[in-house]
Amino acid sequence: MFAGFMINTWIVASIVAIVAGVVGFFVVLRGSSFAAHAIPNASFAGAAGANLVGASSIGGLLVFAVAGALGIALLSKRGRRDVATALAIVLMLALGALFLSFSTEYAAETYSLLFGEVLGVSSSELAPTVVLALLAVAAVATFWRLLLLTSVMPELAEARGVHIYRVELVFLLIVALVTSLSVPVVGALLMFSLMIGPPAAARSFTTNPFVAVVLAVSLALTTVWIAIAVSYMTTWPIGFFVGVLGAAFFLTGRAFAAWRGNRAHPRAARHSQVVAA
Amino acid sequence: MADLTESTSADSRTPILELDGIGVWLSGREILHDVKFEVRPGELVGLIGSNGAGKTTIFRVILGLLTPSSGRVLIVGGPRPRRNRSVGYVPQKIALDPDMPLRSRDLVALGLDGHKLGVSLPSRRRREMVDEMLHAVDAMPFANARVGSLSGGEQQRVMIAHALISRPKLLLLDEPLANLDLRSEQEVVELLAEIAKEHGVAVLISAHDLNPVLPVVDRVVYVAHGHVASGTTDEVVTTDVLSQLYGHNVDVIRLHGRILVVAGPSPRADPALMEQLGRLSNPVDDTVAV
Ligand SMILES: Nc1ncnc2c1ncn2[C@@H]1O[C@H](COP(=O)(O)OP(=O)(O)O)[C@@H](O)[C@H]1O
Ligand SMILES: [Mg+2]
């Protein structure tokens, strides 16, 4: 599984895991899981459309993911965010179904777009993936404090003169970017699990936001590495293992949190440490 | 505790906050009518009124989140700039996710530069500023605890530190005593009095019950149906003033250092029956308001 033709897969999957961990931290913190589900759906339709007209699938992914992000942001400005997001999902799935019905390579294409493909990464996909990943990480770093403040206390951020709507728009665009680079590898449905599982699990193990991001990235990397290896050996889809491992990490995190919460007076213990220091 | 304000105001009589003839209409309804009051440096003013009286709306106008249909807000004698660092604010509802990986100190640090681009790299100076503020509000024991899992009183202290770290001249707190137990209620009130008195910060605090803030407020602004009456407690909380404000008879009864505002006999009610019902047991929220 470390043969020459697999090298690209390992590299791209690792990049996907890193950005999924970084961006996923804010997806979970902002309670944007639903949007993180909708945008990959949008990009799935885009890839199907691009495939149909013979355009580059990463281009189609990007255009539709960005359109989905803008759609959700615009619609939720006027109404409820969950309803806007649901509308976007429905619309994009409808388009995706239409495009696929016109396509000749129906089954195989759908399958790999939804569930990912270990062997599907070509050298030509490497460069755009690296560029998009760098862009996404740079954007999160640039908006780090604003994303934190608007996630934790949106009302207060607004009172301090932050345009919370613009920050939300930027965030959804970052999710669109990450989605576009990830879908060819892990698939639309399971990019979602990579953005939720590891970051949600990381929350249980630390109280420090920086550490939580590092931990989310580590768990995401572990997830994709194990998933590729096992998928290669079993020929089961990589997405299956990504999903199962994400859920497993999350449950482990919750169990750890429950165990920690059950210990007697955890805060009293911290107090005595502070006094001793 | 170090000096919380950047510079002590030269003229302590210049109001930090001045509301002049504020009127607000929302969905065709008059929410505020000719609201007029001021808060000076080092003053603690209580904004008192029952639910729906218009307290939060007044805060939203001061913060510039709501444009009044008439009147003006002056902050330190001038119009309010969009990113006003001289106003600290603690909103009414702070729902912090208990599982969120964020410590008290992270939340306080966000008060310093949470509205800016970029990542804040840990530095000694930042750490010292945050520690100093956590000390000031007596939140050091839970500085590294998950902020969402703290008790209401502890979270309130952290929120106050968050609001104060940018060294504002004016601190606005919307119902900071709601959902606090008696002891934390008293601690938060004392902390606010100390911030106002020792550091010259103008503090405006809203509450639906006058009594918890009674020992510390310099003046009160009483709100009812969007109308206000302001002055010292003795001036405002009287049978005459409040009856006029509410638009019907109100009795103000002072009892063991507490003030009870109760509905007076209405023309329709049988006075003898009112006596029997025991007016003393009816606080203002149950009988007069809304
Ligand atoms: N956006 C709005 N549109 C219409 N009415 C509103 C709006 N916001 C608040 N109100 C009304 O204004 C009144 C005052 O509300 P508020 O300032 O929140 O009261 P308080 O904070 O004193 O409980 C209430 O009757 C409320 O229903
Ligand atoms: Mg209110």
**Average pLDDT estimate for A149-156:** 93
Kindly determine whether residue B102 and residue A207, on different chains, have CB atoms separated by under 8 Å. Answer: yes
For residue B9, pLDDT over 70 is answered with: no
- For the Cβ of B27 lying below 6 angstroms from any atom of ligand 1, the answer is yes
Check: pTM over 0.80? Answer yes or no.
yes
Residue B175 tokens, joined: 């119902």
Domains annotated for chain B, with CATH where assigned, are 17-236 (3.40.50.300), 249-290 (no CATH)
DSSP letter string, A96-119? HHHHHHH-SSHHHHHHHHHH--GG
Structure confidence at residue B82 (pLDDT): 62
For residue B286, pLDDT over 80 is answered with: no
Residue B178 tokens, joined: 């709601």
| pLDDT tens digits, one per residue of B209-228 | 999 999 999 999 999 999 99
Residue of chain A minimizing CA distance to B112: A145
Residue B194: partners with Cβ closer than 8 Å, 6 or more residues away? none
- A111/B225: higher pLDDT: B225
- A145/B237: higher pLDDT: A145
Query: How many C-beta atoms surround the C-beta of residue B83 within 10 A?
Result: 11
- B179/B184: higher pLDDT: B184
| pLDDT tens digits, one per residue of A185-220 | 777 777 888 899 999 999 999 999 999 999 999 999
**Rg (alpha carbons) of chain A, rounded to whole number:** 19
Structure confidence at residue B94 (pLDDT): 83
CATH assignment at residue A248: 1.10.3470.10
Kindly determine whether residue B117 and residue A145, on different chains, have CB atoms separated by under 8 Å. Answer: yes
> Measured between CA atoms, how close is B173 to chain A, in angstroms?
12
Structure confidence at residue B264 (pLDDT): 74
Nearest CB to A160 within list B83, B97, B140: B83
Query: How many C-beta atoms surround the C-beta of residue B172 within 10 A?
Result: 25
Query: How many C-beta atoms surround the C-beta of residue B178 within 10 A?
Result: 15
Number of domain units in chain A: 1
- For the Cβ of B289 lying below 6 angstroms from any atom of ligand 1, the answer is no
Cα separations in angstroms, B165 against B88, B101, B122, B161: 9, 21, 16, 6
- For the Cβ of B49 lying below 6 angstroms from any atom of ligand 1, the answer is yes
ipTM: 0.84
For residue B284, pLDDT over 50 is answered with: no
Give chain B as a 3 state SS string: CCCCCCCCCCCCCCCCEEEEEEEEEECCEEEEEEEEEEECCCCEEEEECCCCCCHHHHHHHHHCCCCCCEEEEEECCECCCCCCCCEEEECCCCCCCCCCCCEHHHHHHHHHHCCCCCCCCCCHHHHHHHHHHHHHCCCHHHCCCEHHHCCHHHHHHHHHHHHHCCCCCEEEECCCCCCCCHHHHHHHHHHHHHHHHHHCCEEEEEECCCCCCCCCCCEEEEEECCEEEEECHHHHCCHHHHHHHHCCCEEEEEECCEEEEEECCCCCCCHHHHHHHCHHHCCHHHHCCC
Kindly determine whether residue B101 and residue A203, on different chains, have CB atoms separated by under 8 Å. Answer: yes
Strand residues in chain A grouped as ranges (E): none
DSSP letter string, A221-255? HHHHHHHHHHHHHH---HHHHHHHHHHHHHHHHHH
Centre of ligand 2 to C-alpha A17, Å, is 44
The span from the CA of A220 to the CA of A209, in Å, is: 16
Residue B49 tokens, joined: 């009124």
Residues of A in contact with B107 (CB under 8 A): 152
Structure confidence at residue A105 (pLDDT): 64
The span from the CA of A10 to the CA of A14, in Å, is: 6
Under DSSP, is residue A48 helix (H, G, I), strand (E, B) or coil?
A: helix
Percent over 70 (pLDDT), chain A: 90
Residue B2 tokens, joined: 């170090």
Decide if B231 contacts B237 (C-beta within 8 A).
no
The angle at the Cα of B108, spanning B106 to B111, to the nearest 5 degrees, equals 115
**Average pLDDT estimate for A77-91:** 84
The span from the CA of B38 to the CA of B14, in Å, is: 10
Per the prediction, chain B carries an average pLDDT of 85
> Which residue reads 């504020």 in tokens?
B22
- B212/A124: higher pLDDT: B212
Query: How many C-beta atoms surround the C-beta of residue A256 within 10 A?
Result: 13
Residue A257 tokens, joined: 């949190």
Strand partners, B228: B223
Structure confidence at residue A9 (pLDDT): 84
Query: How many C-beta atoms surround the C-beta of residue B73 within 10 A?
Result: 18
Nearest C-alpha neighbor of B247 from the set B229, B272, B269, B270 = B229
For residue B7, pLDDT over 50 is answered with: no
| pLDDT tens digits, one per residue of A2-19 | 777 778 888 888 999 999
- For the Cβ of B55 lying below 6 angstroms from any atom of ligand 1, the answer is yes
For residue B158, pLDDT over 80 is answered with: yes
Centre of ligand 2 to C-alpha A159, Å, is 15
Question: What is the distance of C-alpha B249 from the center of its chain?
Answer: 27
Decide if B237 contacts B261 (C-beta within 8 A).
yes
Q: Could you list which residues have their CB under 5 Å from ion ligand 2?
A: B 55-56, 92
| pLDDT tens digits, one per residue of B230-283 | 999 888 888 888 888 888 888 888 888 888 888 876 655 555 545 544 444 444
Strand partners, B46: B205, B220
Q: Which domain holds residue A233?
A: 4-276
Kindly determine whether residue A145 and residue B100, on different chains, have CB atoms separated by under 8 Å. Answer: no
Split at pLDDT 50, 70, 90, the class of B22 is very high
Decide if A20 contacts A220 (C-beta within 8 A).
yes
| pLDDT tens digits, one per residue of B56-69 | 999 999 998 899 99
Per the prediction, chain A carries an average pLDDT of 84
> Which residue reads 């995401």 in tokens?
A220
